[in-house]
């Protein structure tokens, strides 16, 4: 049952958290935290998403705040470091924020940057992690087919674990997978799962070897578990630059998956210069615990968004809640 709008707004707190480094063009992260009967939850679709796309994010939040979570199969989740599109010489300091992590996801194809810069960034990560470390790259669908093929060849020397969303469309993913098949380099899909009306289409099309999933944009823990059961493909649970409250939702998903063969992208609280709790979900020994997070009142006050931004978010929840009610 959908909780009433009154109950949702009654405890809603809007925060604006600074980031350690620019990420997705952002220098801070806004989010709404809501306390339900099952615990705190988070609603934080990026501001450019329309109400229809944001509806899945609110559905996921309310499921986590108002329902009990599925049974857990593990109480800790191995996680990867996330390296934004930073200069190569900044890589060592950034990776130091992810203690114990032996896997790194490196952002590539950032607008305004060159393939040569991507190569040097990945080279710097390999230098820090050593030959035993695992490196995956994420292009966020920003290469065309020829660019993707060229870039994958240029980056192959670093023994990549997989390439995430090299191209935007499902047809392009299937084609780049065919073109690079001889490299034995898996292709992972992210945007092609969460931005499709049918999230199963990518697997039916043979366009990916792995699926990167985020709980909020896919509508909740149970929705993602259903995707895993239907596709049978390995899942890598990731975050959407959430606060520790949002990350806890992803941790509960990862904790409930029947199989978890890959480190998850749930260490992104390390990219926040501040969080909503004094006990954030930061990696220790390369993993994070599966637990609910309770925000601290003083941090909610310190990082409260401006009145204008608070009103913008509450109006957004009102509209999106109406969509879910319909």
Annotated binding site for Mg(2+): 138, 164, 190
* 287 three-class SS: strand
Catalytic residue among 29, 59, 105, 107: 107
Q: Could you list the residues known to form a binding site, using ranges.
A: 138, 164, 190
Beta strands in 144-203, from DSSP E residues, in sequence order: 160-164, 187-189
CA distance 299 to 278: 8
- How many CA atoms lie less than 13 Å away from 94 in the CB half-sphere? 29
d(CA 31, CA 243): 8
User: Strand (E) positions, 71-184?
Assistant: 76-78, 81-83, 103-107, 134-138, 160-164
Please choose, from the candidates 227, 148, 236, the residue with its C-alpha nearest in 3D space to the C-alpha of residue 185: 148
107 catalytic, yes or no? yes
User: Do the Cβ atoms of 34 and 324 come closer than 8 Å?
Assistant: no
d(CA 75, CA 79): 13
Using alpha carbons, select from 221, 222, 197, 201 the residue that is nearest to residue 211: 201
Q: Is 105 a catalytic residue?
A: no
Separation between Cα atoms, residue 201 and residue 198, nearest integer Å: 6
E strand or H helix at 191:
helix 191-194
* Cβ neighbourhood burial of 71 (10 Å; 0-12, 13-18, 19+): exposed
- List phi, psi (to 5°) of 20: -70, -40
The catalytic position among 136, 214, 310, 321 is 214
Q: Which residues are catalytic?
A: 107, 214
């Amino acid at each position: 049952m959908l909780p009433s709008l009154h109950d949702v707004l009654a405890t809603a707190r809007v925060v604006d958290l600074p980031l350690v480094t620019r990420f997705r063009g952002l220098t801070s992260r806004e989010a709404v935290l809501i306390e339900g009967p099952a615990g705190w939850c988070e609603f934080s679709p990026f501001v450019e998403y329309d109400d229809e796309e944001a509806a899945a994010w609110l559905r996921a939040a309310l499921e986590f705040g108002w329902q009990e979570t599925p049974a857990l199969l593990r109480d800790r989740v191995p996680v990867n470091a996330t390296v934004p599109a930073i200069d190569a010489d900044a890589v060592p300091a950034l990776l130091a924020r992810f203690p114990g992590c032996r896997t790194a996801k490196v952002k590539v194809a950032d607008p305004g940057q060159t393939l040569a810069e991507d190569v040097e960034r990945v080279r710097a990560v390999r230098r820090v992690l050593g030959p035993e470390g695992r490196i995956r790259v994420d292009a966020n669908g920003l290469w065309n087919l020829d660019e993707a093929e060229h870039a994958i060849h240029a980056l192959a020397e670093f023994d990549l674990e997989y390439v995430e969303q090299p191209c935007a469309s499902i047809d392009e993913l299937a084609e780049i997978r065919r073109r690079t098949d001889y490299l034995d380099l898996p292709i992972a899909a992210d945007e092609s799962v969460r931005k499709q009306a049918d999230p199963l289409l990518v697997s039916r099309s043979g366009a990916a070897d792995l699926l990167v999933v985020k709980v909020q944009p896919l509508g909740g823990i149970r929705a993602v578990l259903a995707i895993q059961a239907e596709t049978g493909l390995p899942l890598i649970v990731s975050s959407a630059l959430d606060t520790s409250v949002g990350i806890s939702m992803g941790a509960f998903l990862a904790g409930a998956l029947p199989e978890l063969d890959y480190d998850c992208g749930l260490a992104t609280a390390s990219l926040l210069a501040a969080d909503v709790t004094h006990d954030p979900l930061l990696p220790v020994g390369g993993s994070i615990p599966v637990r609910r997070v309770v925000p601290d009142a003083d941090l909610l006050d310190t990082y409260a968004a401006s009145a204008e931004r608070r009103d913008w978010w509450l109006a957004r929840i009102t509209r999106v809640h109406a969509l879910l009610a319909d």
